[in-house]
Structure 1
Amino acid sequence: MFVEAIEGTWHNSSTLGRRFTIRSGHEIDIILNSNISGVFINTALGRNTSGSSLPSGAKNIANATKQDRFETATKIQGHAAETKSLIVDIFEGRAVTVEAFTPLIDDVARTMEENPSLYIGMSRLRSRDNATFVHSLSVAALLLHFSRSLQMDEETVQHLCVAGLLHDIGKLSIPKQVLQKQGPLNAAERSIVEQHPGLGYELLSTNLNMPTLVLQICRSHHERLDGKGYPDRLQADAISKEVRMSTICDVFDALTSARSYKKGWSSQQALSWMMCREEQFDKGLMWQFVLSLDPEMTKGIL
């Protein structure tokens, strides 16, 4: 079988590489005894001819063919372009109704239903120029999937998806040299970036058709249960369930996304870190979020 990609820390790249054909049981043992968190198997470039196989519990994050991944990546790029167009329309003051998002929401929903773990994994392959837009799309997809797993009513699901798409719209008002800095931000730059929830809220508030839930999530997705978030230092009782859900999805995507100055964490690393921070995240909702994900993404958590 052909290994298309390795997720996690892989100490055998000098001997096997990160893309290679498995030709023996010994190579399978190397994979199983490593600290990696997932393997992408490309069935279009090879199949199991050795008589051995990886156990299902330790196998793939996405057992996807090259064509599967190409089609998903193409859909995500289309979604990102459509997301960018709608966000720019709002930013430039053009009237946009929630109904304008319906075709995009429906398309994201179909893609998530076809292969949620592959969609989430492929959405990490973002270009630097489109980082804010693709991140927004990823958060929208996570919120849609999460809210449907909780069997929330369809109107709330759609509003959560729109909120995911628009939650970072205030970043378009942040200077590019700060937003696209190739490294960690200093204190002054961090203070500038922390203005984006308020800026986004003010912008969206000018649209009389914008649902209250979308406005609420735009302003409050960086609040924390312990009151140390921003911009309003809200504490637990003042933070709605939907905002708490948006915070989980936002941070999960941020942690698992690569940046110029850091590698993206594996899904398991991100979830383990988040589960230990009850002062920041709702523990009950965190468990429900974990349960909503593909089992291969949560191995070692449950």
Structure 2
Amino acid sequence: MTIKRVKVEDLKAGMYVHDLNCSWLEHGFIRQRFALKHADQIQKIRDHGLNEIYIDTARGDDVAGAPTQAEIEQGLAQRLKASATGGAALAPARVSQREEAIAARSILGEAADVVQGLLQDVRLGKQLDPAKALPLVKAMRSSVLRNPGALISLSRIKNADTYTFQHSVSICALLVSFAQALGMDAATVEEAGLGGLLHDVGKMKVPNEILNKPGKLTEDEFVVMKSHADLGEAILRGVPGISSLVVRIAGEHHEKVSGGGYPRGIAAGEISQIGRMAAIVDVYDALTSNRVYHKGKEPSEVLKRLLEWSGSHLDGDLVQHFIRILGIYPVGSLVRLSGGRLAVVVEQGEDLLRPTVRVVFDASRKLHLQPRDLHLAHATEQIVDYEEPLAWGLDPATYL
């Protein structure tokens, strides 16, 4: 089997689609894999704003000269490591991850409850009161300033029953970190965080049977789901005193820099900077989160996807900034060290290839170890690659 990435304009009947190469929520196809039998299917792919997809040449026609998936992955891994040359984008931690994790858990729990209350008010037709969320946004900014990784890593942990609310909290934390790293003033950072909390407010006007469907949406259901961006923008425009930045996050977080996104299909020059930032963090959180019908990918793997989609879906320069915020191996990642041990990343330093890790497992002897922190910036051992926790029966979150 040879999987290749091809441009949509090179597609023709007789090929077999292996992967549509977009985030799980970005298309209305029931299946990711199918045979191309007629021109209407190809047109539908174009209509969804897709630029490049993967084909299986063992099950359909080939495209001469198209790069293989293995070549693409090798190139993305090199690009990801090259991103480390810019150094960390956020100031070093003021307190340890262990210490900040206590405060971060409290903030995240309270934030999820507040967001749930705000969004439920919208579903019930009540007036949205964003003032209820502002103290929590300020608390998140303070947490990021104390230790950038603690809040973001813990926000990956979500309950399936309250995913919509916890996803909004995660987007808040990520946008606060993003805006802080770009040097925005405190008021703008907090507006970005509020926009993250409210970016999916339009989903409260989407029928529950579609919003909470435990599986892929049909094409008609996908059309209804896409309306949440327009609906959210309209809801927020009706809230007294809400800033245009918050409104743009809700209305633009599904737009693509090459056009073809929704709700308006506008391109890079028309999408605000905060809208392009929101698109990046929304995809990152969606792809790293476990859902009933979607197993979350490891953070380093998702960062490679962000690089792959740079220039088509996402703003490439902002993706590079985002990687330097999280690190090549984000906090909470399981990594293999050159000595054969497995460790959980707990702290980023200036050198993004040499974070502080918590050694937890001996891979060769398949033996759990007494957790011990190792500062790779001052060690002979280095990270070889990231690992899939389930393959080892490990849960990195338990070590944070």
Q: Same fold per TM (> 0.5)?
A: yes
Number of residues of Structure 1 aligned to a counterpart in Structure 2: 238
Q: Which moved more, 1:185-194 or 1:119-128?
A: 119-128
CA drift at 1:71: 5.8
Query: Which residue of 211, 226, 229 maps to 1:197?
Result: 229
Q: Does structure 1 retain, via aligned residues, the 8 Å contact 2:155–2:170?
A: yes
Aligned pair 1:159/2:194, yes or no? no
Calculate the TM-score normalised by the size of structure 1. 0.72
* SS of equivalent to 1:296: coil
Q: 1:134 maps to what in 2? A: 166
Query: Which residue of 266, 271, 292 maps to 2:325?
Result: 292
Q: Does structure 2 retain, via aligned residues, the 8 Å contact 1:223–1:231?
A: yes
Larger Rg: 2
Q: 1:175 maps to what in 2? A: 207
Q: 1:19 maps to what in 2? A: none
Q: Give the partner amino acid of 1:296.
A: Y
Which stretches of structure 1, 4 residues or longer, exceed 6 Å deviation after superposition?
none
Q: Give the partner amino acid of 1:172.
A: M
Deviation string 1:27-81 (CA, Å, 9 cap, x unpaired) is: xxxxxxxxxxxxxxxxxxxxxxxxxxxxxxxxxxxx966x975664343122110
Aligned 1:138-287 pairs, distance under 5 A: 138-277=170-309, 278-287=311-320
Q: Does structure 1 retain, via aligned residues, the 8 Å contact 2:100–2:146?
A: no
Aligned 1:11-160 pairs, distance under 5 A: 72-96=104-128, 98-160=130-192
d(CA) in 1 for partners of 2:301, 2:329: 13
Change (3 A) 1:276 1:152: same
Change (3 A) 1:104 1:262: same
Q: Does structure 1 retain, via aligned residues, the 8 Å contact 2:103–2:143?
A: no
Q: Does structure 1 retain, via aligned residues, the 8 Å contact 2:214–2:292?
A: yes
d(CA) in 1 for partners of 2:328, 2:147: 13
Q: Give the partner amino acid of 2:164.
A: T
> Identity over aligned residues, as a percent?
32
Q: Does structure 1 retain, via aligned residues, the 8 Å contact 2:114–2:132?
A: no
d(CA) in 2 for partners of 1:217, 1:157: 13
d(CA) in 2 for partners of 1:158, 1:90: 22
Q: Give the partner amino acid of 1:119.
A: L
Q: Which has the higher strand share?
A: 2
Q: Gaps spanning 5+ residues in structure 1: where?
A: 1-62
CA drift at 1:133: 0.9
d(CA) in 2 for partners of 1:94, 1:105: 22
d(CA) in 1 for partners of 2:100, 2:238: 41
d(CA) in 1 for partners of 2:125, 2:241: 13
Q: Which has the higher helix share?
A: 1
* SS of equivalent to 1:171: helix
Deviation string 1:157-203 (CA, Å, 9 cap, x unpaired) is: 11111110111001111111111111222211111110101111121
CA drift at 1:292: 1.3
**Aligned CA-pair RMSD:** 2.3
Q: Give the partner amino acid of 2:317.
A: G
CA drift at 1:121: 2.5
Q: Give the partner amino acid of 1:219.
A: G
Q: Does structure 2 retain, via aligned residues, the 8 Å contact 1:97–1:209?
A: no
Change (3 A) 1:275 1:295: closer
d(CA) in 2 for partners of 1:159, 1:180: 28
d(CA) in 2 for partners of 1:157, 1:186: 37
Calculate the TM-score normalised by the size of structure 2. 0.55
